Amino acid sequence: MLEVKHLSKDFGGITVIRDLSFTVNAGERRVILGPNGAGKTTLFHLLTGVEKASSGSISFAGKNISKMNAVERARVGIARSYQKNNLFEHLTIRENLMLAAAAATGKSRWFFRDVINQADMKTRIEETAEQVALTDQLDLMVSAVSYGNRRQLEVGLALATKPALLLMDEPTSGVGPAMIDTFHQLLETLPRDITILIIEHDMDLAFSIADRITVLNFGEKVFEGTPEDTRGNPTVRQIYLGGGDGTYGATNDHA
Amino acid sequence: MFYQTRLRTITLILALGFLAVYASFGSYFAREIVIEITILAILAISLDFCAGFGGMVSLCHGAIMGISAYAFSIMSVKLGLPSVPSAMIGLMAAVVFSGLVGWVTARTSGIFFIMATLAFGQMAYTFFFKSRWLGGDDGMGGIDRFNLSWLGVDMNDALVFALFGVAVLLLVYVIAAILLRSGFGRILSGIHSNENRMQAVGINTANHKAMAMAASGLMAGIAGILAAQHTLYISPELLIWTVSGEVLLVVILGGIGTLIGPVVGAIMLVMLKHELSNYTDYWHMVVGMVLIFAVLAGGRGIFGQIEYWLITRHSPKTPHLPPAKEKDLA
């Protein structure tokens, strides 16, 4: 489904992603772990084409997409939700979802017909709203709903495009425990025809939904495996808990 | 995001009705005022389309109007084409020019977009000002109005022409409203709200904005043909940037992003101008004060502010017109 080979990215002299390779299978839930500055969000920028990789290649559904720009990649079915809310402000939640759905279905070239009340769109908007638990808030302005609802809409905008690959950048960032449960449920009920890459800091959530976990540190893949293996891995423990034995410091010179 | 609400429909009917009645029962001078209003209102709708709904505050709409007027006049006066095909070519010239401006400037925004459009407008102005073949700053005359004698009406009659202007204004409003309610218009509003996110869901926003500018150019072009047929004479004055500035003033005065607001603004500005100039040469100062008041009162403009009061009276938390209230244009 998604194949990343020898991907690197430098900004000036600083290498943010270094020779990164991994493969994600169709339908998989892959969690990306790593401390702040590990290059997780940059990886998403590279996958969505917002940033161009310095070297390496990205294949999606058997096609090399390395040369495609962000718009083309969105059109082949890669959608993303953002760590910081990136919504259509001053519009309602229904209008937000409508915009994403209309964009994904080529309705930006409808010059005469409205799309808000069109039957297919209506179903799609309502389906997506149900997925992200926003059915009751559909006709409220984005500015009138809670921060948690906005986080749900953030994912909803990506889902409304019916993506094949969904990249979620910390969907639970800044929300409370009750809302984390909502996201947990959402992730478990999403159909398996969507492949998901998710950056998540809530460990319970991450370990319970992941099929596999990839751990990044200083732009490099330091570990990849099942949640159980990850939990038991000494390198991962060290990165997250800090090791006093100096073994980790030996690899720290990348910084 | 645009909705043709009942309030807007009522305002449109009242505004057009007022213009038709004022022209029908007024003097020759009143009819001239009505046609002046319709031209300004069409141009203001055109600007509101791209500025109010697409975030593209253009300072070259006067130039787009002028290019259409010149292309129309060149075809009919210099090349002797009938007026309808000439008008088509005039509109095409406006669409091509504004589409080109949109295409070049689509990657800029804010003050840079404004300056770039100003530069394009000034280039067009200079071109016509310097062109000897087109009469330079003397302009050119000899223009004919559409021949509607098959309908039994004489377009050279001031009343007929004023009513024709009102009908064209209605047509342009309907074109703009349909475009804004379509998938194309919705996405344009989305770009205005968050261009970055619109790209992330697969929209080539630069192309979309260029197309919106072209559509806006079509409407400005219609104003240009009407302007040329009104005075039967055109000069580079149509393209001066202050024309674009005045249109922007009308849009803000009436209510940017409301579509009907610009029509209200055009009526107010022209009426104020003519009424006040009876009393003082400093009528600009009064208009300026009205504008400052309109901006300080929330920047919604006159129609926008009234609409806002009426909506927030019912639902203070959502300053937005729910789609359920929408009446179809048909």
pLDDT of B218 above 90:
yes
Closest CA to A43 of A64, A19, A67: A19
In a domain, residue B36? The reply is yes
Domain assignment present for residue B200? The answer is yes
- Is the predicted pLDDT of residue A248 greater than 50, yes or no? no
Residue B67 has pLDDT above 80, yes or no: yes
Indicate whether B291 belongs to any domain: no
Query: What local confidence, expressed as pLDDT, does residue B325 receive?
Result: 38
* pLDDT cut 90: percent of chain A above it: 75
Task: Categorize the per-residue pLDDT at B324 as very low, low, confident or very high, splitting at 50, 70 and 90.
Answer: very low
- B182-187: average pLDDT: 96
Q: What is the mean pLDDT of the segment spanning A38-50?
A: 94
Query: Residue A113: its chain B contacts at CB < 8 A?
Result: 182-183
Q: Is residue B253 part of a domain?
A: no
The pLDDT-based confidence of A254 (bands split at 50, 70, 90) is very low
- Which of B184, B193, B318 has its CB closest to that of A109? B184
Q: Are A102 and B179 inside 8 Å of each other by CB? A: no
Is B320's CB within 8 Å of A92's CB?
yes
Residue B278, pLDDT score:
87
- Cβ neighbour number for residue A55 with a 10 Å cutoff: 13
- Residues in B touching A166 (Cβ below 8 Å): none
**SS3 per residue for chain A:** CEEEEEEEEEECCEEEEEEEEEEECCCCEEEEECCCCCCHHHHHHHHHCCCCCCEEEEEECCEECCCCCHHHHHHCCEEEECCCCCCCCCCEHHHHHHHHHHHHCCHHHCCCCECCCCHHHHHHHHHHHHHCCCHHHCCCEHHHCCHHHHHHHHHHHHHCCCCCEEEEECCCCCCCHHHHHHHHHHHHHCCCCCEEEEECCCHHHHHHHCCEEEEEECCEEEEEECHHHHHHCHHHHHHHHCCCCCCCHHHHHHC
C-alpha closest to that of B106 among B215, B29, B190, B204: B204
Is-contact B180 B4, C-beta < 8 A?
no
Q: Between B318 and A187, whose confidence is greater? A: A187
CB contact under 8 A, A103 and B203: yes
Residue of chain A nearest B315, judged by CA positions: A140
Please report whether residue B146 resides in a domain: yes
Q: Which residue has the higher pLDDT, A114 or B72?
A: B72
User: Does residue B265 lie in a domain region?
Assistant: no
Q: With CB atoms and an 8 Å threshold, state whether A115 touches B202.
A: no
Nearest residue on chain A to B326, alpha-carbon basis: A117
**Span B220-248, pLDDT tens digits:** 999 999 999 999 999 999 999 999 999 99
What residues does each domain of chain A span? 1-77+163-255, 88-162
Task: For chain B, give the mean pLDDT.
Answer: 91
Closest CA to B186 of A90, A105, A116: A116
Give the pairing of strands B140-141 and A55-60. Answer: unpaired
pLDDT above 70 covers a percentage of chain B that reads 95
The minimal CB distance from A113 to the residues B183, B194, B202 is found for B183
> Are B197 and A102 inside 8 Å of each other by CB?
no
Looking at residue B110, its pLDDT comes to 84
Give the separation between CA B228 and CA A204, rounded to whole angstroms.
72
pLDDT at residue A252 tops 80: no
Whether B311 and chain A come into contact, CB under 8 Å, resolves to: no
Question: In the predicted model, what is the mean pLDDT of chain A?
Answer: 90
User: A96 to chain B: nearest residue by CA?
Assistant: B190
- pLDDT at residue number B294: 81
Residue A191 has pLDDT above 50, yes or no: yes
Total domains in the fold of chain B: 1
pLDDT at B31 over 60: yes
Asked whether the beta carbons of A76 and A69 are under 8 A apart, the reply is no
pLDDT of amino acid A28:
95
Interface predicted TM-score (ipTM): 0.88
A91 vs B contacts (CB less than 8 Å)? 1, 189-190, 193, 320
Contacts of B196 in chain A (CB under 8 A): 86
- Partner A contacted by B135 (CB < 8 A): no
**Domain housing B16:** 6-240
B315 — pLDDT class (breaks 50, 70, 90): low
Whether residue B320 is predicted with pLDDT greater than 60 in this model: the reply is no
What integer is the mean pLDDT of A226-242?
85
Nearest CB to A110; choose among B182, B193, B322: B182
pLDDT at A255 over 60: no
Where does the pLDDT of residue A121 fall: very low under 50, low under 70, confident under 90, or very high at 90 and above?
A: very high
| Percentage above 90 pLDDT, chain B | 79
Topology annotation, domain A1-77+163-255: Rossmann fold (3.40.50)
With 90 as the cut, is the pLDDT of residue B327 above it? no
Instruction: Name the band, by pLDDT with cuts 50, 70 and 90, for residue A247.
Output: very low
Contact with chain A for residue B107, Cβ under 8 A: no
Digit-coded pLDDT (tens) for B266-293: 999 999 999 888 888 888 888 888 888 8
Per-residue confidence (pLDDT) for residue B140, from 0 to 100: 93
Q: Is B182 a domain residue?
A: yes
Does B329 score more than 60 pLDDT? no
The residue among B175, B178, B180, B186 with the most chain A CBs within 10 A of its CB, best to mutate, is: B186
Please report the pLDDT score of residue B267 as a whole number: 97
B201: its two tokens: 């869901």
pLDDT of A99 higher than 50: yes
| pLDDT score recorded for residue A4 | 95
